[in-house]
Chain A
């Protein structure tokens, strides 16, 4: 207790690279979600929306 937590301070280049990677991951995730969504609808067809109560 009392010890100051040691952290790493990223350099400007590291922050820039991290931001670049984050944007790429976000784009990849969005593409994957769209792919799964559209493929599900194509595979299951109209029955996907047919949910009798």
Chain B
């Protein structure tokens, strides 16, 4: 009698991994990570307290790895629905390159390492915020909200909104109104961004059984909500100028970008229900990415120029 029955590990069920480093990198959702790194960088540089450049690099790497780890945990949990959606079926787990267990282990180890490193070497406010972000994305959004409510990305969007706040906290060790506004810009930007995508990918979400707004409330209601959120984004975008955190030049750029966002959302609102090409929704999706990059870039340039002028005048 053997302790392990030979039949229990048939050659067909056991296979050595053929995953390469790039498959593991794909688990970290590099495109999302690049947006996280950029917004965190802006939050860090806009903060009134300068952070040592080496610690800034450490903080950015930790935030990037932490965000990536939450992506790996998301892919572990969502492997079943990723396999049936055209946009996600080539991800490493449904493609059979990485097992669910490997992705889970990878995500957990990177989560722990990134939070501990950020906490020990930068500060624990930033470390705690990063831990909460990973928890919020992996547990609150992925495991709970995503399959339960069409408000999934409205509430879940908070996870993607934390990076500038973490960057700010890394430099200052605190949370302030400036970083809350940066949080709000991404938070209110997320629903119109994802609903624009959901409008032209609604079939995908339907097949996977994900209650996205167009499938649950209908396209007309989704288009109205996109427009309402676009108005809110445009208003929140100019708040840094209104509160005096940014210059008039930033205010003008934010106003122009906000007007663009409203314009593209209006085109979505007024598109014909028979329009199966969904061109306005695709255009809004593209513009929303440009908007977020533009407004954070404007805030970054404004902060750097303001600091430079202050130093030159002193």
Structural contact, B55 and A42, CB atoms closer than 8 A: yes
Q: Is the interface of A mostly helix, strand, loop or mixed?
A: helix
Structural contact, A17 and B55, CB atoms closer than 8 A: no
Q: Which of B16-24, B185-193, B232-240, B303-311 forms contacts with chain A?
A: B16-24
Answer yes or no: A47 CB below 8 A from chain B CBs.
no
Given A39-B54, A43-B121, answer yes or no on A21-B19 (Cβ-Cβ < 8 Å): yes
Structural contact, B14 and A24, CB atoms closer than 8 A: no
Answer yes or no: B277 CB below 8 A from chain A CBs.
no
What is the minimal beta-carbon distance from A6 to any residue of chain B, in angstroms? 9
What is the minimal beta-carbon distance from A15 to any residue of chain B, in angstroms? 9
Within 1-53 of A, Cβ neighbours of B (below 8 Å) are at 8, 10-11, 13-14, 17-18, 20-21, 23-24, 31-32, 35-36, 38-40, 42-43
B 52-67 to A, binary, CB cutoff 8 A, 1 in contact else 0: 1011011001000000
> Which residues of chain B are within 8 angstroms of A23 by Cβ–Cβ distance?
21
Structural contact, A8 and B16, CB atoms closer than 8 A: yes
Q: How many A-B pairs fall under 8 Å by CB? A: 45
Structural contact, B19 and A35, CB atoms closer than 8 A: no
Interface size of B by CB at 8 A reads 17
> Which residues of chain A are within 8 angstroms of B128 by Cβ–Cβ distance?
none
Structural contact, A10 and B21, CB atoms closer than 8 A: no
**Complex Cα gap A17–B98 (Å):** 12
What is the minimal beta-carbon distance from B52 to any residue of chain A, in angstroms? 5
A38: nearest chain-B partner, CB-CB: B54
Structural contact, B16 and A35, CB atoms closer than 8 A: no
What is the minimal beta-carbon distance from B61 to any residue of chain A, in angstroms? 7
> Which residues of chain B are within 8 angstroms of A13 by Cβ–Cβ distance?
18
| Residues on B facing A (Cβ under 8 Å) | 14, 16-21, 24, 52, 54-55, 57-58, 61, 113, 117, 121
